[in-house]
Amino acid sequence: MRHGFTTGSCAAAAAKAAVYMLLFGTEKNSISIMTPKGILYEAHITDIKRGEDKVSCAVIKDGGDDPDVTTGAHVFAEVSISETAKEPAVKNDSDIEVVIDGGAGVGRVTKPGLDQPVGNAAINRVPREMITKEVTEVCRLADFHGRVNVIISIPEGEELAKDTFNPRLGIEGGISVIGTSGVVEPMSTQAIIDTIKVELCQQKALGKTCAAIAPGNYGRDFLKRAYGYDIDESVKCSNYIGAAIDMAAEMGFESILLAGNIGKLVKVAGGIMNTHSKEGDCRMEIMAAAALANNVSPDTCRKILDCVMTDEAIRLIDEENKKDAVMNYLMEKIMFYLRKRAGRKTEIECVIYSEKYGELAKSKGAEKWLTLLARDRAL
C-alpha cells in the first residue's frame, strides 16, 4: 500500500519553498525535505503568491492509501521577515529566529493537556521542529540572519475539523498540524492485521517464545529506554490489541508482554480491545471511575471527566497522592481482560506508562517476563 505525508510534512515543505522564493527571488515549483522517518518527500508547490516582503504557497496533502480526511487539503505557508531581521547580525544559527503561528483553518488550543499550551495554534511539536529546520536551512544557504515569520493555514480546515475529535479536545477553528514521523502509514484494517501476523511469524521463526507487543512507536521506545529491549524485536499492533493477542496465542507463544501508553491501554481496562477512537473513547470515564473507587474526591473526579488528555487526569489524581493506587487498580482491570482474551494456555503481562510520568504500573509477572526476554535475546 502507498504511504502518504503528514500535514506537518506539507507545512514544512511549503514553508521551505516560500522562504526560498522570498530570499532568493526565484520561483520554486517543487521542493524536497527529509522526514523524521528518513523518507525523502518531493513536494509539488502550488498557489504561489510572491510579494516584496512576503511569499505564500501551498502543498496539497496526499495521505496515500490511508483514509485520511485531510487528503486533498491545501496546506499554505506564508513567510515574511520582521523589520528587525533586516538589521546586521552576527552570522551564526542562533541569529536565525523562526516564529510559527496558525492562520485560517488551523485550530487553536483552548484546553490544557494537549501538545501545545492554551492559546497556541494547534501545530504540534514535531511539525514545528520540521518547519524550523527547513526554514533555517534555507536561511543559512542565503546567508540570512534575523527573524522569519511563518503562518500555516489550511482553508478547508474548519470544515474538515467537524469530522475529527478536535472540537471535543478543545481545539477550535480548524484542524491540527500533526505527525511524528512525517509519513502517513496506510491504515487499512486488513493490511495492518496482516502486518502484525507477519511480524509475529518472524519472531516465532527466530525461536522466540515471548511476544513483545506495543500499540505504537512510543511503546517500543519505552521498552528500549526502561528495559533495554530492542524496539526492532517488538511487534507494533497499532489499535488492534485484541487481534494481536489472538494471533500470538494461536501461534503458541508461551507468553506475551503488552507495553503501552496509558492513553490507549486505559481503554483495555473497560474491555475495549480495538482502541481506535472511532471504536470508542471512554478514557476519562474509566479514569474517573478508577479514581472514585480509590477515594479520590468527587470534585476531582468531575474534573477528570472534563480532561482531554490522560496525563492531565493523572496530574489531578497525583495531587491527592492517589496516583499509585489508581494506576494499580487500572492494571488489575486491564489484566482481567487481557487474561480473558489470551486464554489459559498463554501467559500475558502488561506495563503501562506515560511520556510525562514514566512507568505507571506493571503486572505482577512482568519482571519474570523481562527475564525471559533476556533469555530469548541470548539464543
Looking at per-residue pLDDT, the higher value among 202 and 265 belongs to 265
* Residue 45 CA, distance from chain mean position: 26
Confidence of residue 92 (pLDDT cuts 50, 70, 90): very low
Average pLDDT of the residues of the chain: 88
Give percent above pLDDT 70 in the chain.
88
Mean pLDDT of 169-176: 90
- Cell numbers at 84, concatenated: 528587525
Q: Which residues are CB-contacts of 220 (< 8 A; sequence separation ≥ 6)? A: 214, 231, 234, 236, 259
Residue pLDDT, tens place only, 333-355: 999 999 999 998 899 999 999 98
pLDDT for 304-328, tens place per residue? Answer: 999 989 999 999 999 999 999 999 9
CA 210 to each of CA 258, 278, 372: distance values in angstroms, whole numbers, following the listed order: 11, 31, 7
Mean pLDDT (whole number) for 135-160: 95
In 3D, which of 68, 220, 66, 34 has the Cα closest to residue 156?
68
User: Which band of pLDDT confidence, cut at 50, 70 and 90, is reported for residue 90?
Assistant: very low
8 Å CB contact between 103 and 153: yes
pLDDT, tens digit, 9 for 90 and up, residues 155-172: 999 999 988 878 877 899
Q: What is the pLDDT of residues 65-86, one digit of tens each?
A: 776 788 999 999 999 998 554 3
Structure-model confidence comparison of residues 226 and 139, the more confident one: 139
Instruction: Give this prediction's pTM.
Output: 0.63
What pLDDT digit, counting tens, does each position of 253-288 carry?
Answer: 989 999 889 999 999 999 999 998 778 789 999 999
pLDDT the model gives residue 311: 94
Q: Exposed, middle or buried: residue 198 (CB in 10 Å: 0-12, 13-18, 19+)?
A: exposed
- Place 234 in a pLDDT band, splitting at 50, 70 and 90: confident
- Please determine, for residue 88, whether its predicted confidence score (pLDDT) is greater than 50: no
Q: From the centroid of its chain, how far is CA 131?
A: 17
Query: Do residues 268 and 241 touch, judged by C-beta distance below 8 A?
Result: yes
Give alpha helix (H) positions in 25-145.
Answer: 125-141
- Judged against a pLDDT cut of 80, whether residue 87 lies above it is answered with no
